[in-house]
Amino acid sequence: MADPMDHAIERFEKAFFTMFQKIGPGLALPSDLNLTGPQIMMLYTIVKCEPCQVGRLAQRMEVTPSAITVMIDRLVQNGFVHRKHDENDRRVVLLEATEQAREALLRIRALRSEVISNYLSYLEPHELEPFLQSFEKIAHKMSE
């Protein structure tokens, strides 16, 4: 007798790969921004916890502070982030997003919102919330 989970896995894989093939190109970053996916995630994180300590950013990105330094250097060189020292503790380095970074994030958000809202519109209004709850539940478990 076939395991019901096998059928669920097949359905999930098929839907996931189809969705990834269709939505992936629409979520691609504009090449003129000169930013990578991880750099975008860093910028979103910096903006959320601004001014953001390097150690806190590394913790949220789940990497070591030394590993994140190279990425921060690139963001600083490209004008997306400013470093400054904490006025209360000069040993602490704080990161702030520049106006250029904020404009890039707004542009990315607008492009992605257009693509994602198009696909979410395939759902009936009463289907949207249960879909999002299930999607968020899986994402939450994956991040534990």
Q: Tell me if 81 is assigned to some domain.
A: yes
> What is d(CA 22, CA 122) in angstroms, rounded to the nearest whole number?
14
Q: Would the pLDDT of 1 be above 70?
A: no
> pLDDT per residue over 63-79, tens digit each?
888 888 999 999 999 99
**Residue 4 placed within a domain:** no
Q: Is residue 70 part of a domain?
A: yes
The token pair that represents 55 in the structure block: 């150690």
> Residue 63: inside a domain, yes or no?
yes
Reported as type and span, the H/E element at residue 69 is helix 65-77
* Residue 14 maps to a domain: no
Question: How far is Cα 93 from Cα 99, in angstroms, rounded to an integer?
Answer: 19
Instruction: Assign residue 86 a region (left: φ > 0; alpha: ψ between -120 and 50; beta: otherwise).
Output: beta
Output the six-digit token pair for 124: 């009936």
Q: What's 97's DSSP letter?
A: E
CA distance 54 to 126: 42
Domain range for residue 48? Answer: 34-124
Q: What is the pLDDT of residues 86-144, one digit of tens each?
A: 788 888 889 999 999 999 999 999 999 999 999 999 999 999 999 999 999 999 998 87
CATH of the domain at 76: 1.10.10.10
User: Is position 132 within any domain?
Assistant: no
Q: Report yes or no on 18 lying in a domain.
A: no
Q: How many domains does the chain have?
A: 1
Helix (H, G, I), strand (E, B) or coil at 100: helix
